């Protein structure tokens, strides 16, 4: 993982983490066509489309956030959904199949 993304994941606040990850991803020129599921506070999860300034939606549990992110990806013809752990590190990526 590029060093800039690792440093971005060290940010403490939600907004700072979101902005740092977005900047690092853009600088590293990783896959642009992606939707992220990231921690929001201590107990919630946010669905964040790549390059968006605001979250699409906030959920109480990660499973609901992942389902929503996959559905949004299918709707918007986005190629993947990337999950982050609570600490901001990358967890896994799902490739989205389109009909």
Interstrand relation of 80-84 and 44-49 (parallel, antiparallel or unpaired): unpaired
Q: How far apart are CA 91 and CA 13, in angstroms?
A: 19
Q: How many domains does the chain have?
A: 1
Q: pLDDT tens digit string along 35-74?
A: 999 999 989 999 999 888 889 999 999 999 999 999 999 9
Q: pLDDT tens digit string along 2-40?
A: 455 545 455 467 777 777 777 776 655 444 579 999 999
Residue 63's domain spans which residues? 3-95
Whole-prediction pTM: 0.67
Are residues 56 and 64 in contact, defined by beta-carbon separation less than 8 angstroms? no
């Amino acid at each position: 993982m590029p060093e800039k993304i690792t440093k971005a994941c060290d940010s403490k606040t939600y907004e700072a983490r979101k902005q740092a990850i977005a900047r690092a991803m853009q600088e590293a020129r990783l896959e642009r066509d992606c939707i992220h599921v990231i921690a929001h506070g201590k107990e919630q999860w946010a669905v964040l489309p790549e390059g968006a300034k605001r979250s699409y939606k906030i959920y109480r549990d990660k499973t609901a956030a992942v389902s929503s992110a996959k559905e949004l990806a299918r709707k918007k013809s986005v190629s993947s959904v990337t999950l982050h752990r609570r600490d901001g590190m990358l967890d896994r990526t799902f490739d989205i199949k389109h009909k």
